[in-house]
Amino acid sequence: MTKQRELVKNIINSSFGHPTAEDIITEARKIMPDIAVGTVYRNLAMLTESGEIRKIEIPNAPSRFDRNYIYHEHLICSVCGEIKDVHLDGLKKYLEDNIKENIVSYNLTLYYICDKCKTENEVGK
């Protein structure tokens, strides 16, 4: 593994959130100032393809990246874009039982309006 790829992976693995590529570039340049934007994007693609990280696609917003330790789903605020991890125990087995197939992987993203945005929208009325 190249130093650049290891750096990108470590940034994602040490993040408690779901950083964008721009967030990762900013952090990477603190450690490796001459790292190229293209290098970061290439390494994000390789790490995603290999299953070492997950890419979270969000409509009308930058993709986010997530470490891939425990499989989980995501809850995204439709207003501000905040992302929360959601663990739906037994979902994979439930789906397999109902479709009568073995599921290799899946992506489930649920959308909601977070408490902060609900409150802000109520105040503005």
pLDDT in tens, 25-83: 999 999 999 999 999 999 999 999 998 998 988 888 899 999 866 778 889 998 988 89
pLDDT computed for residue 69 by the predictor = 64
Q: The CATH number of 70-125 is which of 3.30.70.2740, 3.40.50.2300, 3.30.1490.190, 3.40.50.2000?
A: 3.30.1490.190
Query: What is the C-alpha separation between 65 and 15, in angstroms, rounded?
Result: 10
**What CATH topology corresponds to 1-69?**
Arc Repressor Mutant, subunit A (1.10.10)
Query: Token match 């439930």: residue?
Result: 94
**Using 50, 70 and 90 to split pLDDT, how confident is the model at 123?**
low
pLDDT at 125 over 70: no
Whole-model pTM? 0.75
Report the C-alpha gap between 12 and 59 in whole angstroms. 21
Q: Which of 72, 59, 60, 66 is nearest to 23 (CA)?
A: 66
pLDDT of 99-119, one tens digit each? 999 988 777 889 999 999 998
